[in-house]
Structure 1
Amino acid sequence: MMEIPDVIKGILILGFVFVPIEKALAAHHQKLLREGWFTDLCYYFSGYFIGHGTTKLLIVFVLMSQGSIPILSRFVGQQPLVLQVTAAIFIGDLCFYCVHRLLHTVPWLWRFHAIHHSSTNIDWLATVRVHPFEQILTKSCQMIPLYWLGFSTEALAIYAVFSSAIAFFIHTNIGIKFPILKWIIATPEFHHWHHDRYPQLKTQNLAVQLPIIDYIFGTWYMPDQNLPKQYGTELNIKTNYFKHLIYPFTPFLPKEETHGSSRSHIDP
């Protein structure tokens, strides 16, 4: 009997978990095969292999660069697993916050990140709409410091699973609010405001795991009201996967983009 590849198992498990949840607890009513779903499916498969390849390259890079920092490595490696995982989550999300802020404020980098924000329907599948360059950049910025600091293999494995799980969770199309949890870890309510089509702030809710980081840097935004009514950028959602790949490298904006009044929420 032929074994099902892990990449297929992954999408099936995600579908079985999140589709029923979104159907029962939907914040916004939308079709299962909503506009742009096939493009996102392409991102899922390409992102799976790019993610695994990037991890291997990062390990090789760390080994070639003399590995971890000796003094810190010994200290970190001696800590209990729970403490290591907690520290890894904070450090990893702090690093992500920094690069995420650059993706929103550096014009050329924004052209990569605008692709992720082009989804006008936010759900679990929209999580994977990330340009390969951005995927490699953010993963490197998160993982290299953790490798250098000497976190144990077990701690890094748990952190990787947690990061993936919460990434899908915060994009889910559910309308439930988490009064206490939202102050501890990122929730859909928290992250949906990051994808707001008309945000109050230019860069808000940039952390993807710990909202406290946004609170510290003054980019926390959680209005006491329903979720945003509209999502997305002016980058046409109908643009296919291959056009997305070359979009950041084009010298001029594609014809489907406009320069109207809504341009303010696209530019950093």
Structure 2
Amino acid sequence: MLPEIVKGFVVLAGIFIPLERILFLHKQKIFRLGWATDATYFFTGHFIGRSGALVVTVILSLMTNLLNPELQSKVASQPVWLQFVEAIVISDMAYYIAHRLLHEVPWLWQFHAVHHSSEHMDWLAAVRVHPCEQIFTQICKIMPLYWLGFTKESLVVYALYSAAIAFLIHSNIKLKFGILKWFVATPQFHHWHHSKIPGINNKNFAVQLPLLDLLFGTIYMPAKKMPHKYGISDSIPAGYVGQIFYPFSRMIKNAR
């Protein structure tokens, strides 16, 4: 029997690789530069994600005095579909704030720069996330949902949706979503966040709900244009190990 993480990789590749060959936005190779590095992130990220969930559990266990059983009971009594909708709004609001901090706080940017270092966008680029950033954003997204008492069923549905959206918005797919583009994050929305054009990668901070960027004045989604170059000017190592140590080496260098 194959491990679940391997099955997940095979299923995602089986879905997105054909889509990216048929509906491609930019013509590029499947095994493009950095593919092996991102594949490494996929498998290591699975276990790091579990560590993040453990951290959330430990933090909540230390915050029992701040929990509100009555509020949790009311939240849990709602239909799963309503909890799911609420989870999207609450979690993405928390992520929006965390994401802006990753861009605006210099030492946090050193970790987030790793994610922006990819010069090719496709489904696998979604997982190029430094472990420290992964744990930080996971805590920010999940903590409010656990604290409010969302049920396990609603959290499972939300987790599946969240993962699907993450792969979709990074995918090399040219597809029009019509009015849905304001309610569901799309490649048209998120690719601009990875654009190499100065200033544009400080737009579109939401990861699921573009309306948040519209609300806070950080939206950038031209109707008939898409970026042609991705990445950043920072010199980031190409390999997995080098990228893991990159933020720390930069902080040491800046401290001298």
TM-score per shorter chain, which class? over 0.9
- TM-score, normalised via structure 1 length: 0.89
- Gaps of at least 5 residues in structure 2 are none
Structure 1 position 50 matched with structure 2 position 48: yes
Matched AA of 2:12? L
Quote the Cα distance in structure 2 between the aligned partners of 1:186 and 1:197: 20
Deviation of 1:207 (Å): 0.2
Specify the alignment match of 1:59 in structure 2.
57
Tell me if the contact between 1:77 and 1:151 (Cα under 8 Å) persists in the aligned partners: yes
Deviation of 1:174 (Å): 0.7
Quote the Cα distance in structure 1 between the aligned partners of 2:238 and 2:130: 13
- TM-score, normalised via structure 2 length: 0.94
Specify the alignment match of 1:167 in structure 2.
166
Specify the alignment match of 1:258 in structure 2.
none
Quote the Cα distance in structure 2 between the aligned partners of 1:236 and 1:37: 18
Quote the Cα distance in structure 1 between the aligned partners of 2:89 and 2:218: 17
Tell me if the contact between 2:56 and 2:143 (Cα under 8 Å) persists in the aligned partners: yes
Quote the Cα distance in structure 2 between the aligned partners of 1:180 and 1:20: 25
Deviation of 1:65 (Å): 2.5
Quote the Cα distance in structure 2 between the aligned partners of 1:157 and 1:22: 27
Specify the alignment match of 2:136 in structure 1.
137
SS of the residue 1:30 aligns to: coil
Quote the Cα distance in structure 2 between the aligned partners of 1:25 and 1:202: 24
How has the CA–CA distance of structure 1 residues 170 and 190 changed in structure 2, closer, same or farther, with 3 Å as cutoff?
same
Deviation of 1:70 (Å): 2.0
Specify the alignment match of 1:117 in structure 2.
116
Greater fraction of residues in helix: 2
Tell me if the contact between 1:85 and 1:158 (Cα under 8 Å) persists in the aligned partners: yes
Specify the alignment match of 2:87 in structure 1.
88
Specify the alignment match of 1:8 in structure 2.
6
Specify the alignment match of 1:257 in structure 2.
none
Quote the Cα distance in structure 1 between the aligned partners of 2:201 and 2:172: 23
CA distances 1:122-158 after superposition (whole Å, capped 9, x unpaired):
0000000000000000000111111000111111111
Tell me if the contact between 2:237 and 2:243 (Cα under 8 Å) persists in the aligned partners: no
How has the CA–CA distance of structure 1 residues 170 and 22 changed in structure 2, closer, same or farther, with 3 Å as cutoff?
same
Tell me if the contact between 1:36 and 1:238 (Cα under 8 Å) persists in the aligned partners: no
Quote the Cα distance in structure 1 between the aligned partners of 2:253 and 2:23: 41
Deviation of 1:183 (Å): 1.3
Tell me if the contact between 1:193 and 1:199 (Cα under 8 Å) persists in the aligned partners: no
> RMSD between aligned alpha carbons?
1.5
Deviation of 1:201 (Å): 3.9
Specify the alignment match of 1:252 in structure 2.
253
Tell me if the contact between 1:195 and 1:231 (Cα under 8 Å) persists in the aligned partners: yes
Quote the Cα distance in structure 2 between the aligned partners of 1:5 and 1:202: 36
Tell me if the contact between 1:93 and 1:142 (Cα under 8 Å) persists in the aligned partners: yes
CA distances 1:222-256 after superposition (whole Å, capped 9, x unpaired):
11222101000124466211111111111338xxx
Deviation of 1:176 (Å): 1.4
Q: Percent identity?
A: 49
Specify the alignment match of 1:194 in structure 2.
193
How has the CA–CA distance of structure 1 residues 200 and 179 changed in structure 2, closer, same or farther, with 3 Å as cutoff?
farther
Q: How many corresponding residue pairs?
A: 251
How has the CA–CA distance of structure 1 residues 12 and 236 changed in structure 2, closer, same or farther, with 3 Å as cutoff?
farther
